[in-house]
Amino acid sequence: MLLTKMKVDAGLFKPNRLCHGRTLHYSIVNSSEITDEEKDTIYTCSQSMNTGVFENVWTCENFFLDPYAFYPNWKKEELKDINGESGWDIINKMYFQRMKENKGNRSKVLKGMEKEGWIGFHDKDIIRGFTKVQGNEYNSLLVLSGLLFISLQTKAIISLCDEGRFLYAGITIKDGLVKIDKKDYEDDKQHWKEEGWLESNYEGMADDVKVIDKLLKEHPSWMKSDLAHRKVNPADFSDKNIKKSQTQIMSGFYGEHWELSDKDAELESYKMVDMITKKFGGEGVEIQVNKKI
Q: Which of 35-39, 148-152, 219-223, 244-248 has the lowest mean pLDDT?
A: 244-248
pTM greater than 0.75? no
- The share of the chain scoring above pLDDT 70, in percent, equals 71
Whether residue 114 sits in one domain with residue 240: no
DSSP string covering 25-57: EEEETTGGG--HHHHHHHHHHHHHTTSGGGTT-
**Domain-terminating residue out of 121, 137, 159:** 121
Would you call 272 helix, strand, or coil by DSSP? Answer: helix
Angle between helices 205-218 and 182-195 (to 10 degrees): 150
User: What does the pLDDT look like over 170-181, one tens digit per residue?
Assistant: 999 999 999 999
User: What does the pLDDT look like over 214-247, one tens digit per residue?
Assistant: 999 999 999 999 999 988 776 665 554 443 333 3
Whether residue 158 sits in one domain with residue 32: yes
CA distance 184 to 21: 22
Closest CA to 159 of 173, 142, 175: 173
140 pLDDT exceeds 50? Answer: yes
Whether residue 135 sits in one domain with residue 105: no
Label the pairing between strands 158-162 and 171-174.
antiparallel
The CA angle 203-207-208, to the nearest 5 degrees, is 85
82 pLDDT exceeds 90? Answer: no
Domain hosting 101: range is: 70-121
Radius of gyration of the CA atoms of the chain, in A: 21
User: What does the pLDDT look like over 57-70, one tens digit per residue?
Assistant: 888 888 999 999 88
Whether residue 28 sits in one domain with residue 163: yes
Q: Which parts of 155-261 fold into alpha helices (H)?
A: 182-195, 197-200, 205-218, 239-244
Structural domain contains residue 52: yes
Give the chain's end-to-end CA distance (angstroms, integer): 20
Structural domain contains residue 194: no
HEC string of 88-110 equals: HHHHHHHHHHHHHHCCCCHHHHH
CA distance 44 to 244: 32
154 pLDDT exceeds 90? Answer: yes
**Domain-terminating residue out of 121, 136, 157:** 121
Longest dimension (CA), the chain: 65
Which residue would you say has higher pLDDT here, 286 or 16?
A: 286
Whether residue 117 sits in one domain with residue 32: no
Closest CA to 93 of 79, 107, 76: 79
